[in-house]
Structure 1
């Protein structure tokens, strides 16, 4: 993001202590952040908060663009009113995902901050709206298959990301059509992973994304895919996963 400018100290304080914080806690957070070696926080992104532009805002935290050693990174800041007392469990989940090539690479974490790769691109919904008019269905299908592979990898390591039915803003698609899964705040290794099954449902029925994909892949509906999902859910192995993917792919090729 060329042209991004560093925030003033007062502007930084608004974000570091969002939505409200005591002076003592503010100072403690600043001290905690010094260990990350940042040169500054930038005003950049499409989300507006405190009259500032940031990369993202969720129930657990907000994400801002930062500079370290002259390079751009994304910094997640824990909201002061978040139900989570620490971001370290999320950081652990991201590190697990990184081992199988999923999620932005994580570099450093503490109770209130996570430093990771900055992923530049469009949200999945925005990219899909744009790609439908620009690319053949095969390109869109490649991105979907890539997402499914990532979901399968998470299933195989026993990490349930959660919220896979709604990925409109939780996936960024880069300029090279690489989808990247964001936000592992609800991820857990203590429950049965349902990444693939939830993702398929979120892609092809009952969602905003499904409304855009239905005209392109009309055969990817509940009637067509439900039996494959059940087989995979009962036995989440590579064979059943490939059969599910083949049903999605062949649906598009037979149009």
Structure 2
């Protein structure tokens, strides 16, 4: 059964180890609890597929730990900046997620502060696990719809000039549930040359574990055909060249 821990309990062992992961002073923990109060967070529900110090969380990256939290009556995803993060605050990631949101991609940003990002909570499975468990009637249509949505969001990011940066290893970066959403913009950039559509296509459709699973559900076009339309898209990056990618992949 899921257990909710109010803010007053988060400064105590063992949950303070998550709030100040990997290590923090009492003063840092107290400052972070005050920060959460200002953001309106009521507490944290420790559940999820990843375990840190015997405590369940939603995820862990090199800049932060993500947990399930309560904001009033609403469940939200709370990203906690690691104390050993190379970044001094969450400003950069806030700007990147705001840019993604304006383009119509990513989890909705609700609020942010120096050490926290409060985001829409997306209940679902990582794309690799979702495809692995996909079977039965309607699976082909469902898979095509998911890939089309992922690539459309990637095109929106390309058009907005934001490069996600992690889509060549897409298995952890798409949640499939009621919504199909790209997540985790901590490695994103507004300075790099964008390659979201090409990276996602390569990860999902060309020579990967996911591509083999996809090909068992619906027959992919020859690899060279995919590469040809992707090269053209990379060169032009227009709506027409993106539509040509979808058509070549039988996703229209």
Query: Is this a same-fold pair by TM over 0.5?
Result: yes
Q: C-alpha separation between the residues in 2 aligned to 1:12 and 1:202?
A: 36
Shift of 1:146: 0.6
Alpha-carbon contact 1:204-1:220 (below 8 Å) kept:
no
Q: CA deviation at 1:37?
A: 1.4
Deviation for aligned residue 1:223: 1.1
Q: Point out the more displaced range, 133-142 or 75-84.
A: 133-142
Structure 2: distance between partners of 1:32 and 1:235: 45
Distance 1:231 1:223 in 2: 12
What CA distance in whole angstroms lies between the structure 1 residues aligned with 2:77 and 2:97? 14
Give 1:112 deviation, angstroms. 1.1
2:73 aligned with 1:70? yes
Partner of 1:241: 242
| 210-219 or 141-150, larger mean C-alpha shift | 210-219
Match in the other structure for 1:122: 125
- TM-score, length-normalised on structure 2? 0.92
Match of 1:107 in 2: 110
Contact 2:63/2:186 (<8 A) preserved: yes
TM-score (norm: length of structure 1): 0.91
Q: Distance in 1 between matches of 2:72 and 2:36?
A: 15
| Cα distance, 1:136 vs structure 2 | 2.7
3-state SS in 2 of match to 1:39: strand
Q: Any conservation in 2 of the 1:75–1:114 contact (CA below 8 Å)?
A: yes
User: Structure 1 residue 195 and structure 2 residue 196: aligned?
Assistant: yes
- Structure 1 pair 110/221, CA: closer, same or farther in 2 (3 Å)? farther
1:81-96 aligned at under 5 Å gives the runs 81-96=84-99
Q: Which runs of 5+ in 1 are unaligned?
A: none
Change in Cα spacing, 1:93 to 1:221, as seen in structure 2 (3 Å) is farther
**Structure 2 alignment gaps of length 5 or more:** none
How far residue 46 of structure 1 moved from its aligned partner, in angstroms, is 1.4
Moved over 4 A (4+): none
Aligned residues: 248
Cα RMSD, aligned residues only: 1.8
- Partners of 2:83 and 2:129 in 1: how far apart? 30
